[in-house]
Chains A and B, each alone.
Chain A
């Protein structure tokens, strides 16, 4: 019997041993992977890092105007008569009260980025994590270089956005955790921010050397040239009066910054020249995409066919008659002002104020061809919905536009697609619209940035050479001897500076540059007291009869109005009288504090260490330090 007991004892011990060994064999019993998402393995997986990069592009790359209301302050200026809904934009130019410290929420108000514009620092955190994570990644070196280069460039771009809006901002360059001490750092100075931006873009330029993208499925990625162009742009800001004021006793002017900017902009120009060039037809800047648009350097792609990647710009620029909206109760977007139209020179580059042939009644005659390429006015040809001989009419009570006549007398042609049918104009249910790419930085800007720096470092000839190329492309004629495409009007650095500023306003009309240029050059005060003006096209008396006549279809099958010869003053003035009045009656009021916006209050409240900017809420932070 004893033997049996021992046997059972053995069995018993066996069972226990077995169960123990079951556990022992499964050493990784408790090592369970998270199957609902990628954990820290992400950095060893090329596709996963690429996914993160895709998301980061989506968050950081500049967007089509009005596509994200959080950004809309960036399009406020004197060139556009804003939608009545855009209260912050209207505050900026003083037609709807003044900006207060919590208005410009570009940094955001939420601790998330599930929606674009929630918080730029969450987007930067993506870059920080990737740059850190890729350091120890097992991916191939060239793969890592290409990915890292883009993250560096995106981070530089993001900090540049923040710095030019707010002055210095907290500079977070490593992944943060609840314990890390970096998060307790206060605002970095603008100088440190620019240093970091330049460093990031330098890194990107090095890492992206030799990297090329396939347009079919990689269009929009940041190239070495793009990084160089952004760097040039950034250093231009650092040298410009916004950060480098001319007459500020506390912050002496530093001319050397212009040398740095000149070098960077020239380098960008030289680099870009090899790959990019001005396209011949200015009117097609946004209509051409891909290889045929040799000018686009920094691009965000949109599509009318891929779900959720479209925009509604076509609807917003078009007249009602062709499927658009210009609803004055809040829907009118992209309404060019008379102020913008005035900036266009005569056809030979002579400013209208200097021209003897300019007449307000026939303002379109003999002007810089970019006016016709960009803006539609009463009687101007505007091919839409494939109608080649179509002309736009904007006279009072024009039947076609019903109650949605443009609020300024002008329409923007830039973001319209001439052959898109009216039925396809709307972007709705995730599809439709024109799908036009947003070109945030094009070769023309590289050239003008270069020109501006060259002028500041007394290389006027180089500057003029750049502007001349721009004007030649625009179709401006050389003109009389000494006119030199209108450049003859500028002899001094100051005159050239003004000329370049005007050239920017015209060349980049409605591209969202004006807001920044006004701030960068500290020219906001020049707007004060002006109004946003519009053009009225009154019908000659007897009004009813005139309107009836104009809208009667003649024997040729076209309306009588379409037979008017726009280049014949009599033909036009027989029916219309042009006058200019204020589109927004309250005059523009801007303030010096707008050169650096206040940090939003939720952002400020999130850390006791943050200083508010001087000029806002008793702020103490000096963005010029």
Chain B
């Protein structure tokens, strides 16, 4: 290993600032022996650049000043012996005794917070990492602010161990889900509004996913993730983990103004490559010919020749274009000792690559902190955001599959329009061109408004005591509009030997007269009120930190959608243009919930060596019956800072910090939109007719379960944090075991007799045990004055098993394949639907092979068809002499990757820095997605890999004939499996910081130029025809974004 010595050298080199020549403060003070009461000087950073804005104060007084743009200061002092305090954000504070000096020049050193000093938001307060007993990860927003992504979630991919990110597709505005430690959810609870989303908190207030998605990364200071029982502080809502965002605040001093913006271009990271007209026709002919189909099914040779010269592009290529994305934000912050503020605005827009898809949003944020009187401070934050999502593709689904499928599967010989007339192809009656020309649209607008105000009082009479109240209000309003006018397409006369081609002869007009207008509004309001007391004090070796609070919250969501059909006035997209008698209430829903909670947390440590934490939260949730509303969520944590022990310090010198910690606790989840404990009778419009009078009916919708209560999870986490080699190498390891119980499950209806007369109620039943480990290793170092390195890797192993669930033994025989659909008690890495398939033995490449096979197995058929040459053959798992769906068995021991890594690599050279995020996963199996291996037909095109199919001319083709019956049946098999190893550069950012010397002339403090690529390239792609992040080729592709940005600060 060539890099091993280098690594060792990096680890062992003593190149930290503390020992760099000339950086020791005292040695750098220039002393003059005159005794004057005025001191002047220049403050510079370690590179010798002047530092403006540094606070210079006389210790113990209010006398002070700040440095000017050139880093100069001037200060009058009364006492020559006074001590000057130099402080500046991001730099280590320095104290210098004036001692009669008139000029004090000082060089300040950037503070690199060591692992234990990182400040972490743990809910209802912050802590130094040293005081944290659980698995809490923290992400500095700086790491992600340059990425051209729509929101924070999108930037988190492969960055935090144990935090999974899953994007529905590359479509602008499509949803991105975060899942902490594979939080489980039963199929049934999904149906009742439960979610795998973690709880989102912004500055202490619970917010919805929409708020989390709309906050711009540039407004964020850091993001904390509570992955284990630390979330017990959030009690009944913490079972799926908690994501806490701390926003940027203003600091006293000269106002800072900064602008950040980029312009980017998006294109498919991997665009679907489909067969050309000629290749497609040839593929079909090859199959038809060997199957002895009549000439009337084949393309004639003349037609093939004609198609060969036909250079027409597919619908995808015609519509798809590179799109633009941009983001701009503008922040101002500053203030005095008494009042500080932060104000910002941002704009984000992302155009779609076809079909009028567009997503943009903008937001404003204003935060102030004020010291009202000594000890009493208030914080008020106001923010508002607006977003708009549009499309002309008939559906705002996240992957736009219906529309996209047509773009890729329509044969290349079918033009989108002939003589400007949209072609009605294969009765799909939604030709993209016609759809877009019809002026249809879907527009979803969304607007959020939040107020977050708090008051904190730290009385002088009792040191360490604080009292705090906080009020949060979040309001979100949305309105949607879907307009579908009638549209006209044209049927063209089929032509060619097999009637698959079309002529330019219009045979008839096809009018899709379905027209409608759907209007919807929604409103969500949530309020939260927190009042609490805290006490923080050290007595000798004993440190104590205690909080107690009450938290009251309330949520209301109202939705209403109405619909009109049958447009009477063409071209008018207003409701009065539609037939009034068609008006229907499309959807109408009101969901309300409320919660009252009491919580307390106590931290204690002895001499920073032994730590203890205890959390308890009592929740009352309106989602459950009065007698089942209350529950207590306790948690306890222990820590031992081994590196503080003398025996350790004295003997293990290369370890700077080493802490062992463990915590155990209970968390819950009450988040369900349904009132599962109450009977519900839904009023339905058609009841019964008495004579000629229609009446309304009412229908019992759910079988209530009065006993329904929280889902619960008992979390055990054991972890270790270590800093080695002068804090250059940081290692965090967590091992966890989680027992989810009382999870919502619905007894299969089949578990109750059919004469019971009800559908099974939702019950607290399912249990699942999960376990795993997470490793984060970070390394950062200055190699020399110019070069620096920072990198991290995270990886983990996890698995889980369902210990208990409702399933019906009696009815297994009634279930179609696969009978083993229940994952009860099985290893999900093995027993997953992906892993079911036929075991392929090979392909019949010659007729002789077919004949000898049939001689050996005379009854052999595949899905009832006698095998032919060019088809695949399979293992007969059932031994009944034929291949049917029942022969699908577990193919592999596991299809999941053995291990996956997320790397963050950063290199700095002088003012240049390059950082990138790389993901790699090894082992496991990937399968050709079911869409890509759909059977080719005269109306369905397939990916280009099918060019290498078996035919008489190409008996060694990689792929079988398209008419293989197992392909027609859509069965998966080992034939379609490939090694799942994947290596990919998610993103790469190159930035250049313009030296301050150049900037000072223009009055600027910071200028940075950034070039970024997102979803940049895949070094090893298991299936080269699609991006590994796309689930099928019919989905809106994953996008590659290249962007160029600028960051300017004053």
Contacts and interface: CB of A to CB of B under 8 A. Distances in A.
Interface of A: 2, 5, 8-9, 12, 15-16, 19-20, 22-23, 29-40, 42, 48, 50-52, 54-55, 57-58, 61, 107-108, 111-112, 114, 119, 121-122, 124-126, 128-129, 169-170, 172, 176-178, 183-184, 215-221, 289-290, 301-303, 305-309, 601-603, 605-610
B510 to A, nearest CB: 20
Contact of A178 (B594, B690, B694, B705): B705
- Which of A37, A124, A303, A603 has the most CB atoms of chain B within a 10 A radius of its CB? A37
- Which of A29, A307, A308 has the most CB atoms of chain B within a 10 A radius of its CB? A29
Contact of A39 (B594, B681, B697, B763): B681
B841 interface: no
B338 to A, nearest CB: 18
A58 B681 contact: no
Given A40-B679, A309-B689, A31 B531 contact: no
Interface string B675-714: 1001111111011111111111111110101000000000
B682 to A, nearest CB: 5
- Which of B533, B594, B621, B700 has the most CB atoms of chain A within a 10 A radius of its CB? B700
A455 to B, nearest CB: 37
A8 B457 contact: yes
B459 interface: yes
B459 A8 contact: yes
Contacts of B596: 23, 29-30
Contact of B696 (A12, A54, A215): A54
Contacts of B699: 55, 114
B756 A172 contact: yes
A562 B460 CA distance: 115
A314 B699 CA distance: 31
10 contacts: A5-B461, A29-B596, A36-B590, A36-B591, A61-B688, A121-B755, A178-B761, A215-B691, A220-B689, A307-B694
Given A54-B695, A303-B689, 17 more contacts: A12-B467, A22-B529, A32-B622, A36-B589, A39-B681, A54-B687, A55-B687, A111-B758, A121-B754, A124-B757, A128-B757, A183-B752, A215-B691, A218-B690, A219-B690, A220-B688, A606-B752
A119 B678 CA distance: 23
A306 B596 CA distance: 50
A130 to B, nearest CB: 10
Given A305-B692, A608-B810, A39 B752 contact: no
A120 B774 CA distance: 54
Given A52-B697, A126-B700, A178 B592 contact: no
A221 B690 contact: yes
Contacts of A170: 753, 755
A605 B688 contact: no
A35 B589 CA distance: 8
B701 A37 contact: yes
B814 interface: yes
B529 A19 contact: yes
Interface in B736-762: 747, 749-750, 752-761
Contacts of A61: 688
Nearest to A172: B755
Contacts of A31: 622, 626
B188 to A, nearest CB: 14
Contacts of B259: none
Interface in B358-372: none
A239 B135 CA distance: 76
B683 A605 contact: no
Contacts of A58: 686-688, 697
Given A51-B696, A111-B759, A34 B675 contact: yes
B610 interface: no
B454 interface: no
A325 B782 CA distance: 90
B469 interface: yes
A8 B554 CA distance: 30
B529 A54 contact: no
A135 to B, nearest CB: 16
Contact of B681 (A32, A37, A111, A309): A37
Contact of B757 (A51, A121, A601): A121
Contacts of B479: none
B759 A112 contact: yes
A607 to B, nearest CB: 4
B707 to A, nearest CB: 9
Q: Is the interface of B mostly helix, strand, loop or mixed?
A: strand
B592 A111 contact: no
Given A121-B756, A172-B757, A290-B691, A51 B680 contact: no
Contacts of A37: 680-683, 701
Interface in B571-617: 588-596
B34 interface: no
A15 B469 contact: yes
B699 to A, nearest CB: 6
Contacts of A220: 688-691
A61 B687 CA distance: 12
Contacts of B696: 51, 54
A65 B999 CA distance: 89
Contacts of A111: 749-750, 752, 754, 758-760
A217 B688 CA distance: 11
B693 to A, nearest CB: 4
Given A58-B697, A221-B690, A51 B683 contact: yes
- Which 3 A-B pairs rank lowest in CB-CB distance, beginning with the nearest? A125-B757, A55-B697, A54-B687
Contact of B753 (A40, A52, A610): A610
A302 B681 contact: no
A35 B592 contact: yes
B681 A38 contact: yes
Contacts of A23: 550, 552, 596
A34 B680 contact: yes
Contacts of B691: 215-220, 289-290, 301
A129 B680 contact: no
B697 A602 contact: no
Contacts of B753: 170, 183-184, 606-607, 609-610
B467 A5 contact: no
B315 interface: no
B678 A34 contact: yes
Contacts of A39: 675, 678-681
Contacts of B760: 111, 178
Contacts of B531: 15-16, 19
Given A128-B757, A608-B810, A38 B698 contact: yes
A467 to B, nearest CB: 32
Contacts of A176: 756-758
Contacts of B694: 303, 306-309
B629 interface: yes
Contacts of B683: 37-38, 51
B27 interface: no
Contacts of B811: 605
A112 B703 CA distance: 11
B688 A54 contact: yes
Contacts of A608: 810
- Which of A20, A220, A606 has the most CB atoms of chain B within a 10 A radius of its CB? A606
A107 B684 CA distance: 23
A34 B679 CA distance: 9
Contacts of B550: 19-20, 23
Contacts of A178: 703, 705, 747, 752, 758, 760-761, 763
B620 interface: yes
A183 B554 CA distance: 39
Contacts of A33: 592
A227 B682 CA distance: 29
A108 B754 contact: yes
Contact of A129 (B688, B693, B700, B810): B700
Given A37-B683, A39-B678, A302 B700 contact: no
B622 A30 contact: yes
